[in-house]
Amino acid sequence: MIWPILALFLPCLMVILFTQIVHNKWVGLLVSTIIIGASVYKGFFHNELIIFLDVISLVVGFYIVDVLDIEKIESR
């Protein structure tokens, strides 16, 4: 039961975090996708539902970054 919950939140948070670090929403999405793609390739996901939830979470994370303009927030 914990894996679907993590699949809904962690990719979204990864996109937001990487976007804040590099100040580019496309690079944040790309890095998150590469990390999840590598773990799928290595066989860490045994269920198609988890992969589907990861994709949905990536899209939601990108939408949040796009709407809130997180890439333009300056850190002090």
Q: Which two tokens stand for residue 22?
A: 């590099």
Residue 75 — very low, low, confident or very high, per pLDDT cuts 50/70/90? low
Tell me if 9 is assigned to some domain: yes
pLDDT average, residue stretch 15-31: 91
Q: How many residues does the chain have?
A: 76
- Looking at the structure of the chain, the number of domains it has is 1
Tell me if 34 is assigned to some domain: yes
Asked whether residue 23 carries a pLDDT value surpassing 70, the answer given is yes
The model's pTM: 0.84
Q: Which residue has the higher pLDDT, 44 or 41?
A: 41
Residue 55 vs residues 29, 59, 63, 72, 76: alpha-carbon distances, Å = 11, 6, 12, 24, 32
Query: Cβ contacts of residue 32 below 8 Å, gap of 6+?
Result: 11, 14, 15, 18, 58, 61
Provide the domain limits for residue 34.
Answer: 2-68
